Amino acid sequence: MSKNPPAALTELEPDFVAGLKAIFEQRIVFNSVLGLTIASLRPDGVSGRIAMKPQLVGHYAYNRLHGGVISAGLDAMGGLACMAAIGARHLDEPPADRLQRFAKLGTIDLRVDYLRPAMGEQFELRAEVLRLGSRVASTRMEFLGADGKLLSTGSAAYIVS
């Protein structure tokens, strides 16, 4: 990465951002089932949102979000963070070519720590890439309540080439 400007300073082009948003929110169908939308998209970190709805309930007695919504959302966000970092690293490629890299991205493994019950109307998800290698990327994710309280954390490894 030393040949590139620091990822945090690189601006992603509107075409790439729009393309990534369309893939992430619509074409990855299960993301739309979760209602997972992108809130911000930068090479050094991404954020998203999920709004509570009846289909996402895990514990019927307490109106809690299902843990699977959290693991699925964090996995998706970690992958999105990889795509944003990859997008910034290969700025010499046309946006459409870089978006193709999404098809090659795969989660190797995922860990989620459930700290507190996820109750509320709205949730925020954050992800950052801790290391982007030529073959593997490692990410760290957080799942927060509307009040900013940390509800869950995650970490994951992705194959990126």
Instruction: Using the minimum distance from each CB to a second copy, give the nearer residue, 94 or 149.
Output: 149
Six-digit token string for 102: 């999404």
Min separation Cβ 135 and a second copy, Å: 5
Strands, E assignment, the chain: 37-42, 45-51, 57-59, 64-65, 106-114, 122-132, 136-145, 150-159
Interface residue list for a second copy (CB under 8 A): 23, 27-31, 33-34, 54-62, 66-69, 71-73, 75-76, 103, 106-117, 130-131, 135-136, 138, 140, 150, 153, 155, 157, 159, 161
Instruction: Using the minimum distance from each CB to a second copy, give the nearer residue, 4 or 63.
Output: 63
Instruction: Please tell me the distance from the alpha carbon of residue 133 to that of residue 141, in angstroms, as a whole number.
Output: 18
How many Å is the Cα radius of gyration of the chain?
15
Instruction: Using the minimum distance from each CB to a second copy, give the nearer residue, 45 or 73.
Output: 73
| Nearest C-alpha neighbor of 156 from the set 147, 121, 143 | 143
Instruction: Using the minimum distance from each CB to a second copy, give the nearer residue, 3 or 135.
Output: 135
Instruction: Please tell me the distance from the alpha carbon of residue 29 to that of residue 46, in angstroms, as a whole number.
Output: 20
| Nearest C-alpha neighbor of 83 from the set 98, 65, 64 | 98
Instruction: Using the minimum distance from each CB to a second copy, give the nearer residue, 91 or 138.
Output: 138
Min separation Cβ 76 and a second copy, Å: 6
Min separation Cβ 107 and a second copy, Å: 5
Amino acid identity of residue 113, one-letter, is D
Min separation Cβ 38 and a second copy, Å: 16
Min separation Cβ 31 and a second copy, Å: 8
